[in-house]
Chains A and B, each alone.
Chain A
Amino acid sequence: MASQEILRGEPSRGSFINDPRIRSLFFQTLVVILLFSSIWWIVHNVIENLQRLHIASGFGFLKSRAGFDISDTPITYTSDSTYFRALVVGLLNTIIIAVAGIVLATVVGFLIGIGRLSQNWLIRKICTVYVEVFRNIPPLLVIFFWYSGVLAVLPPPRESIHLPFGSFLNQRGFYLPRVVWGDGSWLIGVALLLAIAMAWFVAHRARQRQLATGQQFPVFWTSVALIIGLPVLAFLLGGMPLTFDFPKQSTFNLTGGFWIKPEFLSLLLALSFYTAAFIAEIVRAGIRGVSKGQTEAAAALGLRSGPILRLVVIPQAMRIVIPPLTSQYLNLTKNSSLAIAIGYPDLTATAGTVLNQTGQAVEGVFIMMIAYLVLSLVTSFVMNIVNARMALVER
């Protein structure tokens, strides 16, 4: 009886020390005070120490002339540009490697992940070995493997390996012919956009028709024909305005054409093959996560294995796959800072050089932290949108 009374009774009003609301308020205030005073203490100490050590501070240095050159510059940059522009070049390089790496890692990861569930013994085992090997090697070693183990042993520029279509491969990188857009080549771009719009329209109509009548339409092949056919037609009609700039041998290197440097290539291959191993596991877990009854039910309805995978399994698997996939994308972006080991001018490398040339260590590290934070937040934001859309499909 008595114990039941106590259980049902209202919170004791005896002492405010025992009042849970006041307690929680007290501890929250304490945490806020501690947090802010430690932040204040750190900032105060930084300022005081910088003054004591006679180190100039502030962000004014961003407007001065950089004076050093960068090997990969997606935007115009010379040694006369400012430190700020050098940092932007570094950031763009990081974004390029992150985006390219994410795309490649996703493609490879999905293939390997699905391969691990294959009925074929050989494919299944090869994919398992791939995952176990790449997942268990530190990414830095993989980068060195590609850079010093694979690309550095290629022949020197004067003995380049000739590949089809006028491309070359040597220890200085991979040289491809570059497309030079002539007069009237805008027509090709317009045709491509038009083709994409038409393909989308066809898909939309085919879906409506299937819902109304049950009849199917070969959407995929129609789209392929449109997207390839229209630009080719425009190319022929426009009087073939495209020419190619082929790489040529000069005194030291090959010049002309489109040049992919070994630093970029090894970083891209290493990061995406490393992350792909994790993505493969995520994909496998996602597909395994869809109950077998779903597949059997779809089969019972008469669907073949292709449509079962495409229409039943994958949409449900994506729901499980996307959240951990976001973490992998973030990891890849942050791992790209390992670029410094092989001299690819990403944000860490460029900011490091700026930091060293100006001596502004605090500001340099601060800029780097903010840049990586923003990049990660943007990635998360985009992936959250994708996730929200997938969640709706599932209902």
Chain B
Amino acid sequence: MQVREWALKWELHSQRKKIKRRLAAGAPVTEKGLWVMKHIAIGILGAAALGFMASAASAGTLDTVKQKGFLQCGVSTGLAGFSAPDDKGDWKGIDADFCRAVAAAVFGDASKVKFTPLSAKERFTALQSGEIDILSRNTTWTSNRDSALGLDFVGVTYYDGQGFMINAKKLPGVNSALQLSGAAVCVQSGTTTELNLADYFKKNKMEYNPVVFEKLEEVNAAYDAGRCDAYTTDQSGLYGIRLTLSSPADHVVLPEIISKEPLGPAVRQGDDQWAHIARWTYFALLNAEEAGVTQANVEEMKTSTDPNIQRLLGTEPDGKYGADLGLSNDWVVNIVKAVGNYGEMFERNVGSGSPLKIARGINALWTKGGLQYGPPIR
């Protein structure tokens, strides 16, 4: 079994080198040559990793993460509001903040997280092969991904639906997706979006010409340059992308929503403890909002006598809800201190506090007519 140990060491060593390289390269990998190489490398490494990965490496993800000292989080290559680096290279967005929340729950320190930007195509291989510990990358929860791909979705951090965007200045008179017959449509490859697009045009007996790219930036550039008439992706994404176009005011998002896109984080299947930590981090964010615990008042709230808040913040005498999950008892305090509650996270990244200005809509708490519902911590 020495061979296996050696393989494990080699694997760790190359991981470390990879991380260093990524850090050295700055947050987003913008250089074109690099990403093609990386893309090919990930495909082959992913396959090879399955071959070389020591099969005895069955230690839980939580232990591995604690041992490493940081959480490796897979994010998008740059989608405003969800995960995108700001001008200082810090990752911003709901998806990035979710990883910070998990890091806060595990380490009590939200900064102990490293981000790996992944294209739609690379994301699942990266998670399967253990390159990342959690995938928080505007990914749609589907049955196939939950079963055949060996993933485990932990919840829906954003309820979305697929829509279309067009350049209203160039195409006056088009105000419905049903008028798009014959159009060239830009779409990112390897997404549910690509499949919904095919289904929608087939169902409505319309023709279209798919213009497919692997990276979001390339789809954006092609659409901006006029290579296609319409752009399709999740509606939240369309609003984010519109801001990055050369003249955002010319572009309108058409009213049709053609699919359900429940976006959420995923972990590897088969590690229940780790899945529970990720899932309950999400529920804790919801419960904190429901209980009115915010980033600003969390310290005061620790003295609250409300048993519900005491259970949530781990101040209940003899309560050990955090410890049962494999975390500290003040895990929710750490989460809320780091990123706020779900509502704060939403408003800061995609809502009124952001340039996107997306309304809560169905992402409001169930108490306010939305779909976000956190099971109780008790």
Contact = CB atoms under 8 A, between A and B. Distances in A.
Contacts of A262: 227
A171 B227 CA distance: 6
Given A171-B226, A252-B184, A357 B190 contact: yes
Given A55-B149, A251-B182, A359-B149, A352 B189 contact: yes
Interface stretch (B46-54, B91-99, B313-321): B46-54
A48 B120 CA distance: 26
A49 B209 CA distance: 40
Given A55-B148, A152-B227, A171-B225, A361 B125 contact: yes
A45 B190 contact: no
Interface residues of B, number: 61
A228 B198 CA distance: 45
Interface stretch (A105-113, A217-225, A339-347): A339-347
Contact of B214 (A45, A140, A352, A359): A352
Interface residues of A, number: 57
Interface in B1-60: 3, 32-33, 36, 39-40, 43-44, 46-47, 50-55, 58
Interface string A151-170: 01000101000000000000
Interface in A333-387: 337-338, 340-343, 345, 349, 352-353, 355-359, 361-362, 364-366
Contacts of A292: none
Contacts of A172: 184, 227
Interface stretch (A65-73, A192-200, A272-280, A317-325): A65-73
B33 A46 contact: no
Contacts of B212: 70-71, 343, 345, 349, 353
A349 B210 CA distance: 14
Contacts of B270: 52-54
Contact of B53 (A45, A171, A345, A365): A45
A340 B50 contact: no
A42 B259 CA distance: 41
Contacts of B121: 352-353, 355-356
A343 B53 contact: no
Contact of A252 (B32, B182, B198): B182
Interface string A37-72: 000011101101110111110000000000111110
B50 A356 contact: no
Contact of B269 (A53, A69, A343): A53
Given A55-B128, A340-B214, A42 B52 contact: yes
B168 interface: no
Contacts of A42: 51-52
B194 interface: yes
A214 interface: no
B296 interface: no
A77 B32 CA distance: 31
A138 B212 CA distance: 23
A52 B182 contact: no
A71 B55 contact: no
A41 B179 CA distance: 56
A352 B270 CA distance: 26
Contacts of B213: 342-343
B378 to A, nearest CB: 31
Contacts of A358: 148
Contact of A52 (B32, B44, B58, B227): B58
Nearest to A37: B3
A365 B49 CA distance: 13
8 contacts: A46-B51, A52-B270, A53-B268, A53-B270, A152-B226, A251-B181, A251-B183, A355-B43
**A-B pairs with lowest CB-CB distance, top 4:** A356-B190, A359-B149, A79-B198, A55-B150
Given A53-B150, A251-B183, A353-B189, 18 more contacts: A54-B269, A67-B195, A69-B194, A69-B210, A71-B210, A71-B211, A79-B199, A79-B202, A152-B227, A156-B170, A253-B183, A349-B212, A352-B190, A352-B214, A353-B190, A353-B194, A353-B212, A366-B47
Interface of B: 3, 32-33, 36, 39-40, 43-44, 46-47, 50-55, 58, 120-121, 124-125, 128, 144-145, 147-150, 170-171, 179-184, 189-190, 194-195, 197-199, 202, 208-214, 218, 221-222, 225-227, 229, 268-270
